[in-house]
Amino acid sequence: MENIEADNNKVTSVFDASTGAVEFAALIKAFEFEKALMQEHFNENYMESNTHPKANFKGKVSGFSAADAGKAGSYSVDVAGDLTIHGVTKPLTTKATFVVNADGTIKATSDFSVRPEDHGITIPGVVRKNIAEQIKVTVDLTYARM
């Protein structure tokens, strides 16, 4: 079995510390794989990225306030909202860490798992054993003060 990993550096996200509202959108075609063939199969066979070009999350952060955004430190927060992948929206609840830096930027990190089948993504039986039943998603965002 080989490790299948992709990175996406074309994610747009906004966070409003005064309300806790958070949103992000990731372009599916911006996921980059080690092998071009993996990327092609991901976009054409599984994600159908011409039909479903983005993955979106819209939710709320709890355990972090506007006052916290002004104090350097690390904060463990809860995130809850709706994740839309492949045109299918499902609720998502996860933990995240917000680190407020001295320059006012906020680094947000989180890990969660997604089951392809939960979002209408069909994995053919011939390759099903090569792809994890739950895909680990790692989020690493940096917010600048506006």
pLDDT in tens, 72-119: 999 999 999 999 999 999 999 999 999 999 999 999 999 999 999 999
Q: Confirm if 112 and 134 have CB atoms less than 8 A apart.
A: no
CA distances from 114 to 10, 111, 121, 136, 140 (A): 20, 10, 11, 7, 17
pLDDT at 53 over 80: yes
Residue 122: strand, helix, or coil: coil
8-143 has which fold? Lipocalin (2.40.128)
